[in-house]
Amino acid sequence: MSSSTSERPPLHLLIAAPRGFCAGVDRAIKIVELAIEQHGAPVYVRHEIVHNRFVVDRLAGMGAVFVAELDAVPDGRPVVFSAHGVPKSVTAAAEDRGLAYLDATCPLVSKVHRQAQRLIDADRHILFIGHAGHPEVIGTFGQVPSGTMSLVESVDDVAELTVPDEHNLAFLTQTTLSVDDTAEIVAALQARFPAIRAPRGEDICYATSNRQAAVKEIARRCDRMLVIGAPNSSNSLRLGEVAERLGTPARLIQRATDIDWDWLGTPATLGLTAGASAPEVLVREVIDALAQRFAVREEEIAHVKEDMIFKLPRELVA
């Protein structure tokens, strides 16, 4: 569908910034690309390197093979572990088989892993705030002995907790949670367990926090909000929730072909953002699709500038 500009309804498009790729995602994708460049195809990747189908398909086209478990990796081929992190048992299994592996775990997730190990070494029981089944949660639980960490998903869970010693507790969090939800859960934990030890710094990563804050900057000004991201991307799902809490109907889409035009209607002002694993090319794709139906006036609303860069593994840059 296309028409002359004069026939299209006007649309003020507020584009959140920051949005899209974070430093951890950039690093993970680069690790796969460099591994293919240095070792040749195929390079195996355990699970999706990041939660984005467009990114995964592009890397597959370059020679990456995505597998569910190490059993599917043939001897003699390199394997990359995803940005979400893996249990220690996976690393140990790779070493037992003599597989060359590259760890693309986001450094901020690795920081949580190290905190967990230190707390267990100090004989503290950890209450971990996160979403059951998420790869990052599985990877973090896999850093410590079974039974030394308990999952907390909601404020309601706090009242039901049974702990070995309420005077010897600590809490950690998944890096991609809702800032507001997590603050409520932390408050409930501290109210029930006043002696609980907090992390040394914020576990929710800078990119997650910044993208949620950027949505808050624009949501109340918008009639609708589109969030580009995968349905299994925790940080992307949280962005839609942030908008909805502020009274702005929001939809998660993976790319332009997912736009529900009937739901969208003819808003005067539309908000647009992208989760931390969604590339900017998909943002432009959505804007181009909108421009086929509306006379779009773009305005980027900058919340904060990001300049974080994470180093690549030594073996890839030597």
Give the residue numbers annotated as catalytic, written as ranges: 136
Q: Hey, what are 45's tokens?
A: 């990747």
**Could you give the maximum distance between any two Cα atoms of the chain, in Å?**
69
- Continuous segment of H or E residues that includes residue 150: strand 149-152
Question: For residue 189, what are the contacts with CB-CB under 8 A and spacing of at least 6?
Answer: 127, 152, 158, 171, 196
Cα–Cα distance list, 192 to 42, 66, 169, 280 (Å): 51, 43, 11, 43
Beta-ladder partners of 271: 14, 225
- Tell how far CA 36 is from the center of its chain: 24
- Cis status, amide bond into 42, omega within 30 of 0: yes
Q: Are 250 and 243 in contact (CB under 8 A)?
A: yes
Q: Which amino acid is at 37?
A: E
